[in-house]
Structure 1
Amino acid sequence: MPTHAERRLIAYAPEQLFDLVADVGKYPQFLPWCAAARVRTRTATELVADLTIGFGPFRETFTSRVDLEHPTRIRVRYEKGPFRYLNNVWTFMPDARGCQVDFFVDFEFRSRLLQAAIGVVFNEAVRLMVSAFIRRARDIYGAPVTDKTLAQPTNAQPAGTGGA
C-alpha cells in the first residue's frame, strides 16, 4: 500500500550507482534502519539476500531475490518475511550530467500494526534511504565531477600573471 517513486539526477556514472545498490551486504554500514544483511547466493545476474530492518521497537527479517541487469536495472522480488508483497525497482540511465536514477517501491506488511507504524514515516524514510545511497557514493567515489570542475584546466595560471 505505501508506494514511492522518485527520480533524481546524480553526478556519478550509472555503473558506480548500480554497483552501490547491488552491494547488498554493505547496507548495514550506511542505510538507516538496515540492521543486518546476508547474501545467501550471488551470480552475475542474480542474488538472494536476507535483510533485517529495524525502527523503534520493530525488527523484521525478509528474503528477496534480486535481478541484476548491469548497469541499468535492479529489480527486487520478495520471497519470504513480514510482507504481503514487496516490489522494488531501480533504473540507472546515463545522462550528460551523470546518471538519472529512478527508484520505485511498493509494499504491504502482513501486520496491521507494522503497516500503521511505517505508514506514518514511509515517504521520509524512503527519501532518507535514497539520500544515504548518494552519501555512500560520495564516500566511496569522492565528490562528483561537476561541469564547473571539468571546465577548469588542471595547470591554469591566475589571470594577469603572464604565465609561461
Structure 2
Amino acid sequence: MSKLLLRTIRPQPTLPSFQSQARRSFIHIPNLPGTEAQTLSATRILPYKSSSLYTLIADVDSYSSFLPYCLDSKVTKWSAPDQNNKTWPSEATLKVGWGGFEETFTSRLFCVPGSIVEALGGEAITTLSKSDLAHHAATYDSPAISNNVFQSISTRWRVKPFHYKPPTGQPQTDKAEHPARDQTEVHLTLEFQFSNPIYATLSKAVAPKVAGIMIEAFEVRARKLLDGPGAAVHQDGTTSVGKKIGA
C-alpha cells in the first residue's frame, strides 16, 4: 500500500510550456523563417573604363545619393597609403531604411585598388588575401561590429576590363585588327543574414531583387557621371568638383 501511495504522489515530468518554447525559439533566431543566410549576385557590362567605374564604387560617401535603401553614408576611417601613396575607405557608417524602419550600422571596408570594394557588417569576414590589403593592415583583423539589422552582411563589387572586338563580318581567316572598345564587367555579390525576423519579413518581397536593383542604380549613376563632355569623373579619378577618391 505504501509503495502504491509513493508512486501516486511522486512528481511527474511535465512538458515545457508553450511560453517557454516560444521564448527559446525567439532567442535562437537562426531557426526562424526568413533569417537564413542568402546570397545574391548581378553582373553588367558597361561601356566605360574600369578605372573610372572603380572610382565611383570606392566613393562610399556618395552611396546614399544613388543606392536604393541607403539613406546616409559616411566614411569614418581611411586606410594607410597603398603602394601608390593613395588612401582608401576602411570604415563607414551607413543608414538603411525600408517599410518605415530606419537603422544605422557600421561597415568595415576593404579596397583592392582598381579591382574590388568590399563592405562587411556584423559577423562577416573577408576572404580577400591579406597580401592584397597591406594598406588595410590596421583593420584587417578587427573584431566584428554587431548591429540590429544583420547578423552578417558582405557586399562585394568587382570590376575588370572586358575587351570586346567588333566582328569583322568576314570568315575566321580574316586577320584584320579592330580596336577594342573600353568596356568593363561589373559584378556585385551580396551575402547576408538578418538578425531580426521583423526585418526579414519586411524585406521578403524585395530581398531577392536587391542585387539587380543596386547594379541598375549604379549603371544609371555611371551613365550620368561618365558620359558626355561634362563628365564628372575623369580618367585620372578626379571629379569635376575637385574630389578624388584614393587621394
Bucket of the pairwise TM-score, normalised by the shorter protein: 0.7 to 0.9
- Equivalent position of 1:101 in the other structure: 186
1:69 and 1:99 map into 2 onto residues whose CA distance is 16
Partner of 1:23: 59
- Which residue does the alignment assign to 1:59? 102
Runs of 5+ unmatched residues, structure 2 = 1-36, 80-86, 122-144, 165-182, 229-247
Q: Deviations over 1:42-84 (max 9, x none)?
A: 2324420011011121111111111111101112221332211
Residue 151 (structure 2) pairs with residue 84 (structure 1): yes
Which of 121, 130, 137 aligns to 2:206? It is 121
Query: Could you tell me the percent identity over the aligned residues?
Result: 27
Distance 2:98 2:65 in 1: 16
Within the candidate set 55, 60, 73, 1:37 is matched to 73
Equivalent residue number for residue 139 of structure 1: 224
Unaligned runs of 5+ in 1: 144-164
Q: Distance in 1 between matches of 2:146 and 2:59?
A: 20
Letter in 2 for 1:80: S
What amino acid sits opposite 1:55 in the alignment?
A: W
Report if the CA contact (8 A) 2:153-2:190 is conserved.
yes
Q: What TM-score results when the alignment is normalised by the length of structure 2?
A: 0.55
Distance in 1 (alpha carbons) for counterparts of 2:69 and 2:163 = 33
Q: How many residues end up aligned between the 2 structures?
A: 143
SS in 2 for 1:7: strand
The structure with the larger Rg is: 2
Contact 2:58 2:89 (8 Å CA) reproduced: no
* 3-state SS of 1:100 partner: strand
What amino acid sits opposite 1:89 in the alignment? R
Distance 1:34 1:45 in 2: 20
- Superposed CA RMSD in Å reads 1.5
